[in-house]
Amino acid sequence: MTDKPANAMWGGRFAMSPAEIMQEINASIGFDKALAPQDIRGSKAHAEMLAEAGIITKADAREITKGLDKIKAEIDAGTFEFSRALEDVHMNVESRLKDMIGPAAGRLHTARSRNDQVATDFRLFVRDAVDGIDTALEKVQWALADKAEKHAGTVMPGFTHLQPAQPVTFGHHLLAYVEMIARDRGRFADARKRLNESPLGSAALAGTSFPIDREKTAEALGFDRPMANSLDGVSDRDFAMETLAAATITAVHFSRLAEEIVIWMTPQFGFVKLSDRFTTGSSIMPQKRNPDAAELARAKVGRIAAAFQGLVIVMKGLPLAYSKDMQEDKETTFDALSSLRLVMAAMAGMVADLEPNVDAMRAAAGRGYSTATDLADWLVRELKMPFREAHHVTGSIVKAAETKGIDLDQLSLEEMQKVEPRITKAVFSVLSVENSVKSRTSYGGTAPQNVVKMARQWLRRLEKGRGKV
């Protein structure tokens, strides 16, 4: 290898440039350029603090800030040229700043390291992403609650083991996802609280001898406080892991809803329809209407969960403080959070777009002896029968109906009385699916009056607390 000038930003003790493969594995600019807005925000806050602390002159700080603003404008306009030779976003920005303002640019890096710089940038990025995710989750909740109110009385089968269990309402089913998403938002909110501490000023790992004001930079960047330990500040990525864990759980919830949409759209179920806006056709079968948006939303959980697992594995054996392994924290995190944003937008659109087939849902709700539990409850309530005995009696009545190939409410009173003579014609009042759902008035139950009340509560809550869980 021939002698070449070393990297001008850090190569003082190096006589030669890195090998080509070293440059290839070391460079992160291909993905960490996404941190440019956060990097510039952090640098502006740092420069202002350095000037107020008397570490650099106010004139230099003004030049640095003006230069950073111009760089931000170039990035926004798409005219900024990122160089792979400069490895990462930090050195690309600093190099361009030097071209613009000269030696004053070199004073910006006083009392900081790329270690605390990237930790700060990454926290800012994840915090920004969490705020955007919360807004998007709110939109999905709104779409679900709105549709739930409209279909509070639309009867459908409830399932366990994907077998007909008890009748529920479509609105009640949708509100289940509103509740899940509320917990998802809570997890992101909790993650945000814990990540909202500033690593800036931790320097490489030990802090700095310069009289910096970490409280000031933390406040300027919207953090609650500086991180209390410089080693922790530069070396942990639990904030990203926690956010990815929350993203994974959220994606699982959306995957379950997407799976139900896929099932419901099959001719065998025929419960819902999606318009052309969220379906695709086949290149060979002209009759097809495929729920591709739902299928892709279902699949994205793989990428998101993999990002969480990948970061856990990267971090699991790293000694304190910073190691270059941690460069692998960003690319998959960016991809996972981007994938989740896409899923949320697709799900909000699909929920608003889908229309239930009320007749098909109602017909399915009456099949599979789904009011058997209502019969058992009637026996307990009216005949004072122990539930286990009522369960056995009901099972025998279901068997009688099954033998005749009819539904429970089609079985004659005489046939039921062969199993339990005390049964009266009043039993038929609980055997229809409409009466079944109306009877489930316990808190959290599927009774239409409950669903209307809960849907409206959610809509008011969402309207009142825009941006809050």
Q: What are the residues whose beta carbons fall under 8 Å from the beta carbon of 176, sequence distance 6 or more?
A: none
Q: What are the residues whose beta carbons fall under 8 Å from the beta carbon of 258, sequence distance 6 or more?
A: 294, 295, 297, 298, 347
E strand spans, 106-245:
155-160, 163-169, 197-198, 225-226
Quickly count: other Cβ atoms within 10 Å of residue 71's Cβ. 22
Taking the C-alpha atoms of residue 50 and residue 18, their distance in angstroms, rounded to an integer, is 33
What are the residue ranges of helices labelled H in 322-408?
A: 330-353, 358-365, 372-383, 387-404
HEC string of 122-189? HHHHHHHHHHHHHHHHHHHHHHHHHHHHHCCCCEEEEEECCEEEEEEEHHHHHHHHHHHHHHHHHHHH
Residue of 161, 209, 283, 442 with catalytic role = 161
Give yes or no for a contact between 180 and 253, defined as CB atoms under 8 angstroms apart: yes
Rg (CA), the chain: 31
Residue type present at position 226: P
Closest CA to 329 of 239, 226, 218, 205: 239
Question: Residue 143: how many CA atoms within 13 Å on its side-chain side?
Answer: 19
Taking the C-alpha atoms of residue 235 and residue 334, their distance in angstroms, rounded to an integer, is 19
DSSP reduced 3-state for 356 = strand
Residue type present at position 72: K
Q: Is the peptide bond before 45 cis (omega within 30 degrees of 0)?
A: no
DSSP reduced 3-state for 120 = helix
Closest CA to 255 of 243, 267, 244, 263: 263
Residue 64, token pair as written in the block: 């640095």
Residue of 83, 275, 282, 323 with catalytic role = 282
- Residue 161 a catalytic site member: yes
Give yes or no for a contact between 83 and 95, defined as CB atoms under 8 angstroms apart: yes
Residue with tokens 């008397």, as numbered in its chain: 54
Taking the C-alpha atoms of residue 348 and residue 351, their distance in angstroms, rounded to an integer, is 5
Residue 402, token pair as written in the block: 């099954």
Taking the C-alpha atoms of residue 74 and residue 96, their distance in angstroms, rounded to an integer, is 11
Q: What are the residues whose beta carbons fall under 8 Å from the beta carbon of 83, sequence distance 6 or more?
A: 29, 92, 95
DSSP reduced 3-state for 15 = coil
- Residue 253 a catalytic site member: no
What are the residue ranges of helices labelled H in 206-291?
A: 214-220, 230-235, 238-265
Residues marked as catalytic? 161, 282
